[in-house]
A and B are shown apart, each in its own frame.
Chain A
Amino acid sequence: MSAFDFDLVFIGGGPGGYVAAIRARQLGLRVAVVEKEKVGGVCLNIGCIPSKALIDRASKFNALHELAEYSVKVDLSAFDYSGVQAFSRKAADKLSKGVEFLLKKNEVETIAGTARLTGAHELSIALNAGGERRIKSLAIVIATGSRPREVPGFEFDERRVLSSTGALMLKKLPRRLAILGAGAIGMEFAFIMNAFGVEVTVVEMLERILPMEDSAAASVAGKAFERRGVKFLVGTKAFSLDRGSSDGSPLVLSLGPAASAVPDTKLEADAVLVSIGRSPNTGGLGLEEIGVRLDRSFVEVGDYYETAASGIYAIGDIVKGEPQLAHVASAQGEIVAERVASLLYKQSTVSESHASLPHRRVDLGLIPSAVYCEPQVAGFGLREEALKASGVKCNSASFPFRGVGKAVAIDEAEGFVKILTDPATGAILSAFAVGPEATELIHELLLAKSSELLPQDIYSMIHAHPTLSEAVKEASLAVEGRAIHT
C-alpha cells in the first residue's frame, strides 16, 4: 500500500481541475477532485457557457428585426426573458452533468466538500454531506478559481447591484442597466441586454473599451455597439452608488473623469453590473501556513506551476501573471498532470528534448483571447503598441471582411483580420480579428504561429470559397502586399 490515498488531488473541479484530472487519469495516476459546488466550475455553471447561451439567443433576437425588412411582422408582446434565462441554465446543467459523467467514466473520484490544506501532502475536507474526510496525496493542485471582484460602495446584492453571476441569474430584465468595466464580460452583457431592449450604459475607466484587445478591433466593436444604442463612457470612473430608499427607487451612480477626484455627473439606472475583474479564491485554504507564497491573493508559481511549497501546484485564475481564462487553466493543468506523472514514473512522458520552456509553462504568446458579442473580437500575442513599446519591430497587415464574399453575403462585412509579423522573417508575432466568427477564425493563425508556419504556408493552402476563412488567407497575402480582393 502506498502511503498516499491519491497521486494527485485537485481542489476545484473547474476547467482547470476537471480537464487536468482526466489527463492525469489517462497517464495512469490515482486522482481525486474536491468540489464544493458543481463540477465544471464558474466557466460551465456561471460563466462562459450560460453566457454563450444568452448571447446566441440575443443574436437570434436581433435577427428578428432584420426580417422586418421583408415585411415580416414580429409580435414580441408576450416575450418573457425568463424563458431565455431558463434556456441558459439548461445548457449549463447539461454540460455540468456531462463533466460529472466524464469524471466518472475516467474513474476520477469526485469529493463534494470544501478542502483545506493541513500539510504538504494532506487535506482535510469538510464534506457537503457532513463530517470530515482527511486524505493524503503525493501532489495537490490548487484550482479554486476566482469570483467577481467587488468595488467598495458597489457591494453585490445580486438583485440590483449585480456580479456576472447575478446577471446570469436575472429572470426579469431591468429597464436601464449600467455596466462598470468594458472588458470581455462587460461587453458580452452589454450585447445581451441591449439585444433584449435594455438601455445599456457602459462605464470604463481606461480611455477605450476592450482595453486588453487590439485597439482597431475594439473600435470596430464599439461602433457596432453604439449603432445599436449602447452608450459608452470611457475615461470615466464610478465614484459612488446611491441605492435609494427602496428597491423601487432608481439607482444613482456618481460619475466623473477617471483622472479627477470628484464626480461631476449622475447616471440613473435600474440595475448595475460590476464587471471590473475577478479576485482569486485563495483564502481559507491554509495556503500560506504550508509555505505557498501569495502576492495580493494571487499564487506565485515556478516551472510546472509548482508553488513555493514543494508538491503543491496552482493553476487557473489564481496564478499570478497569467490570463484568467478557462482554456489557460486547462492547459496549465495538463502541464501539471504530465509533470507529476513524469516525476512518479521517473521518466518523462514527453521526451527530454521536449521538456523545454513551452512545457514548463504556458506560452503567453500563444493564448487566444475571445470576446463573444457581435462583432466577435479575438486575438493572440502582444498588441502592436506592446510590441513597439518592447522594441520589437513588426509589420502590420490586415484584410477587411468587406473583401470577403461570404461576409458580404451574410451582411456581416464589418471588421478585419490583422497579422503582425517579424519584418526580418515574416514570422507571425500576433494576430487579431474582429467580425463574424472571429473567435473561430483566429485559430488558423494561432496554429500557424505555434507551428511556426509562415504567411506563405497559409496563403498557399487552398481555402474554400465562399468562407469567412478566406479573410485569413487574404490577410496572410496582405503580409506580402499581395492580397487579391483589396
Chain B
Amino acid sequence: MAEKILMLALSPTMMEGSIAIWKFKEGAEVKKGSVLCEVETDKAVMDYESSVAGTLLKIVKAEGEKAAVGDLIAVVGKPGEDIASLLTGVVATPSGPAKADALVEAGASAKAGTAGNSVTTSIPVTASVVAEVAQVPTSAIASGVRASAFLPTGFLPSLPSGTPPSSPLARLLAHNAGVDIRSIPGSGPAGRVVKRDVEAFIAGSVSRKAEAAVQGTVLPQSTASKGRFEVKREKLANRSVPVGRIRAVVAKRLSDSLHEAPHFFLRSAIEADRLLALRSALNEGRDEGSKISLNTLFAKLSAAGIARNPDINSSWNGTTIEYRKSVDVALAVALPEGLIAPVVRDCANKGLEEMEQEFRVLIAKAKAGGLKPEDYEGASFTISNLGAWGVEEFTAIINPPGSAILALGGIAKEPVVRSSPSGEDEIIVRSMLRATLSCDHRVIDGAVGAAFLRDLKAFFEEPSRALL
C-alpha cells in the first residue's frame, strides 16, 4: 500500500517549509532513513528522512514549492501501484518556485470522502480568489476506508512552541489559509484566538492587500483623520498581542546572542565631513531614486575595513571558528513587526550603485513583508544606524552568525581640538559621528576589534583611503 509523505515539522516553530532539493527522482528506490529531500524553513535547510521504504512514485511538491506542515509532498509505494486516490484533492501546482509577489497563499482544504478530511494542501491562488474550497467527488475514494483514519494526530496542524491561546478550529482555519496564527489578535476568552478572529484577519489581509495595490505601498499611511499615534494607542491599550513570526525569530536570536556571546564594546568619535562631502559629490545630478545613501557608504567602507581585517568576518561554531570569504553586510531596518536586517552579499566586490539598489529592493521587500530567509540570514557584519532619531551613541546586540555589529549615532557639528599646520592646538568645528563596535569576544579579541575600528575610522574620515 502506497504511503503518503507529508511535510513534517522539522523544528519546533516550523509551520511550513519549501522543498530545496529532491534527492531522488520519481521511480527511484528509497530506503528507510534515506534523505528524500532538503527542506528550507524560516531558519535553516534541513534533511527530510524517509520513514518508509519503497519506490518514489510521485513528487507532489516540486523544488522551490512551499508546503505547510501536514501537506502531502510525495507518495512512496510499489511500482505500478494506483495512487490516484491518495492524490485526490491535490491540485496540480505549477512546477518551479511560485512567484511570491504574484501569488497569495490562500487556504484550500481539499476534501475527499464523505466524512474524513483526507488531504489538506495549500494551493497558490491569485489574490482575488480567497479560500475557495475545492470540492472533490465523494466517489473518488474507492473503498469505505478513509485515508484520514491512518493519519496519526502528529500530522494534524501542529502546535508549535509559542502558539498563542487559540481554539483548535481557529488553528485549523489559519493553517488552511496559510496564515500564521501568531499574527492574529485574539478576541475569545482571555484573548484566545477564535474562529471569528481568523476570519476577520483573512478578510482584513485581503482588503489590506487590495488597498496596498491601489496605494502602491503596503504600509498603511497616516492619512486617516486620526493621528498615527492615536490609532496605535487605541489599538494597543489594554491588550496582549500575540508575537508574530518575525518578532519571535528576532527575539530568540537576539536573546541567544546577548546571553551566549560575550560582548565587548569599542567606541570611537569619527569626523564625517569628508564622508558627507563625498555623498554630496556622488549624488550631484542623480535623481531621488538612485541617490547613494549614507548607509550604503557605511556598508561599503565597512566591507573595505573587513577585507583588511579578515578576523572580523567570522562566526563562532562552538568547536570551530568559521572564517568567511564573502563580506555580507546587513543593515538593520525597523518595521512594525520587528527589527529585520536585510543582507547585501559580497560587499567587498560590489560597487556603491549596485549595493544601493540591492538595499533599496530589500528594504521595500521588508516593508511589504516579503523578505525571504535568504534575504536576511547569514550576515557576517551588521550596521545599525539610529542617527535619524537623533541618537548620539548607543550599543547594539550582535546579529548572529556575525561576530560584530556597528552602532552609529547621528552626525552633529561639534567643537573639536585639532593641531593646526603650525603645530598649535586649536578648536575647530567638525561634523562628528560616534560609532560603537560590539564584538563577540569568543572570536574577536580586543586588539583585533580595535585595529578594525581604527581602519573604519580612517575610511570614514577619508573614504579615498578605502581605494588603496
Chain A interface residues toward B at CB < 8 A: 351-354, 356-357, 395, 397, 421, 423-427, 451-454, 456-457, 460, 478-482
Using A352-B238, A423-B111, A460-B153 as known contacts, say yes or no to A481 and B146 having CB atoms under 8 A apart.
Answer: yes
When the two chains form their complex, are residues A425 and B196 in contact, meaning their CB atoms are under 8 A apart?
no
Decide: A452 and B168 in contact? CB cutoff 8 A. Answer: yes
CA distance A226 to B116 in the complex (A): 37
Known: A451-B167, A454-B168. A481 touches B113 (CB 8 A): yes
- Which residues from chain A contact B266 at a C-beta distance below 8 Å? none
B194 interface contact, C-beta 8 A = yes
Top 9 nearest A-B pairs (CB, nearest first) are A452-B167, A452-B169, A353-B187, A482-B149, A481-B146, A481-B115, A454-B168, A427-B169, A480-B116
Q: Considering the chains assembled together, what is the distance between the CA atoms of A451 and B165 in angstroms?
A: 12
Give the contacting residue for B172; candidates A425, A451, A480; CB below 8 A: A425
* Residue from A352, A395, A426, A427 in contact with B114 in the complex, judged by beta carbons closer than 8 Å: A395
Instruction: Give residues of chain B (124-160) contacting chain A, Cβ–Cβ below 8 Å.
Output: 133, 144-146, 148-149, 153, 156
Given A353-B185, A456-B156, 10 more A-B residue pairs with CB atoms under 8 Å apart are A354-B189, A395-B114, A426-B117, A452-B168, A452-B169, A480-B116, A481-B115, A481-B116, A481-B144, A481-B148
- When chains A and B are docked, how far (Å) is the Cα of A313 from the Cα of B388? 57
Query: 22 interchain pairs (CB within 8 A)?
Result: A351-B238, A352-B238, A353-B239, A354-B187, A395-B114, A395-B115, A421-B115, A425-B176, A427-B172, A452-B167, A452-B195, A453-B167, A453-B168, A453-B169, A456-B168, A457-B168, A480-B117, A481-B113, A481-B114, A481-B115, A481-B146, A481-B149
Nearest CB of B to A187, in Å: 31
**Does B378 count as interface, using CB distance less than 8 angstroms?**
no
Cβ of A427: which chain B residues have Cβ within 8 Å of it?
Answer: 169, 172, 195
Encode contact with A along B186-214: 1 for CB under 8 Å, 0 otherwise: 11110100111000000000000000000
Contacting residues, chain B, for A478 (C-beta < 8 A):
115
Cβ contact within 8 Å between B173 and A480: no
Task: Chain A residues near B195: list those with CB within 8 A.
Answer: 427, 452
Which label, helix, strand, loop or mixed, suits the secondary structure of the B interface?
A: loop
CA distance A397 to B146 in the complex (A): 14
- Please count the residue pairs between chain A and chain B whose beta carbons lie under 8 angstroms apart in the complex: 72
Chain A residues with CB below 8 A from B185, complex form: 353
- CB of B68 to closest CB in A, whole Å: 15
| Complex interface: chain B residues within 8 A of A354 (CB) | 187-189
- Does B109 reach chain A (CB closer than 8 Å)? yes
Chain B residues with a Cβ closer than 8 Å to the other chain, count? 33
Among B167-184, those with CB < 8 Å from A are 167-170, 172-173, 176
**Bound complex: CA A181 to CA B148 (Å):** 45
A354 to B240, CA, bound (A): 13
**Nearest residue in A to B238 (C-beta to C-beta)?**
A351
B84-111 residues at the A interface, CB under 8 angstroms: 109, 111
The distance from the CB of B411 to the nearest CB of chain A, in whole angstroms, is: 44
Contacts of B109 in A (CB 8 A): 424-425
Whole-angstrom distance from the CB of B113 to the nearest CB of chain A?
7
A356 lies within 8 A of B187 (CB)? yes
Say yes or no: A480-B133 contact (C-beta < 8 A), given A353-B185, A354-B187. Answer: no
Complex CA gap A457/B149 in Å reads 15
Chain B CB within 10 Å, residue with most, of A357, A421, A451: A451
Chain B residues closer than 8 Å to A453, beta-carbon distance: 167-169
* Complex Cα gap A357–B167 (Å): 17
Alpha-carbon distance A366/B238, docked complex (angstroms): 29
Minimum CB–CB distance from A145 to chain B (whole Å) comes to 30
Residues of A within 8 Å of B148, CB to CB, are 480-482
Q: Residue of A at shortest CB range from B234?
A: A352
> B146's contact among A353, A456, A460, A480, by CB below 8 Å, is which?
A480
A357–B197 CA distance with the chains assembled, in angstroms: 12
Closest to B237 in A: A352
**A479, closest chain B residue (CB):** B115
A425 & B169 in contact (Cβ 8 Å cutoff):
yes
Find the residue from A454, A457, A478, A479 having the highest chain B CB count within 10 A.
A454
User: Which one of B115, B117, B144, B239 lies within 8 Å of A397 (CB-CB)?
Assistant: B115
Contacts of B239 in A (CB 8 A): 351, 353
CA distance A460 to B151 in the complex (A): 13
CA distance A353 to B240 in the complex (A): 11
A-chain residues with CB within 8 Å of residue B145 when the two chains form the complex: 481
The chain B residue with its CB closest to the CB of A425 is B172
Neighbouring A residues of B115 by C-beta, 8 Å: 395, 397, 421, 478-481
Q: A352-B238, A482-B146 are in contact. Are A424 and B133 (CB under 8 A)?
A: yes
- What is the bound-complex CA distance between A426 and B239, given in angstroms? 31
Residues of chain B within 8 A (CB-CB) of A423 are: 111
Residues in A with CB closer than 8 Å to B146 are 480-482
Name which residue of chain B comes closest to A423, CB basis.
Answer: B111
Given the complex of chains A and B, what is the CA–CA distance between A451 and B185 in angstroms?
Answer: 17
A479 surroundings in chain B (CB, below 8 A): 115
Within the assembled complex, what's the spacing in Å between the Cα atoms of A217 and B169?
A: 27
A424 touches B149 (CB 8 A): no
A456 to B238, CA, bound (A): 34
* A353 to B153 alpha-carbon distance, docked (Å): 32
In Å, the complex CA distance between A482 and B153 comes to: 14
| A residues less than 8 Å from B168 (CB atoms) | 452-454, 456-457
Query: Would you give the shortest CB distance from B106 to chain A, in whole angstroms?
Result: 14
Q: How far is the CA of A452 from the CA of B146 in the complex (A)?
A: 24
Residue-wise interface mask of B (372-388) relative to A, using a CB-CB cutoff of 8 A (1 in contact, 0 not): 00000000000000000
B149 near A480: Cβ-Cβ < 8 Å: yes
How far apart are B298's CB and chain A's nearest CB, in angstroms?
43
Instruction: Tell me which residues across on chain B come within 8 A of A482, comparing CB atoms.
Output: 146, 148-149
Of the candidates B149, B153, B194, B238, the one whose C-beta lies within 8 Å of that of A452 is B194
Given A460-B153, A480-B149, verify A353-B172 contact (CB < 8 Å): no
Of the listed residues A352, A353, A421, A427, the one surrounded by the most CB atoms of chain B closer than 10 A to its CB is: A353
CA distance A456 to B111 in the complex (A): 17
CB neighbours of A426 from chain B (8 A) = 117, 172
Nearest neighbor of B176 in chain A, beta-carbon distance: A425
Report the minimal beta-carbon distance from A166 to chain B, rounded to whole angstroms.
44
A61 to B38, CA, bound (A): 71
- What is the bound-complex CA distance between A38 and B162, given in angstroms? 53
**Of residues B189, B195, B239, which shows the largest number of chain A Cβ atoms within 10 Å of its Cβ?**
B189
User: Complex formed: what's the CA distance from A353 to B196 in Å?
Assistant: 12
Instruction: Please report the C-alpha to C-alpha distance between residue A352 and residue B237 in the assembled complex, in whole angstroms.
Output: 10
Question: With the chains together, A395 CA to B115 CA distance in Å?
Answer: 6
**Contact assessment for A353 and B191 in the assembled complex, using a CB-CB cutoff below 8 Å:** yes
A453 to B166, CA, bound (A): 10
Q: Bound complex: CA of A460 vs CA of B168, how far in Å?
A: 13
Q: In the assembled complex, how far is the CB of residue A263 from the closest CB belonging to chain B, in whole angstroms?
A: 47
Residues of B within 8 A of A451 (CB): 167
Least Cβ–Cβ distance between B233 and chain A, in angstroms: 13
A457: B residues at CB distance < 8 A: 168
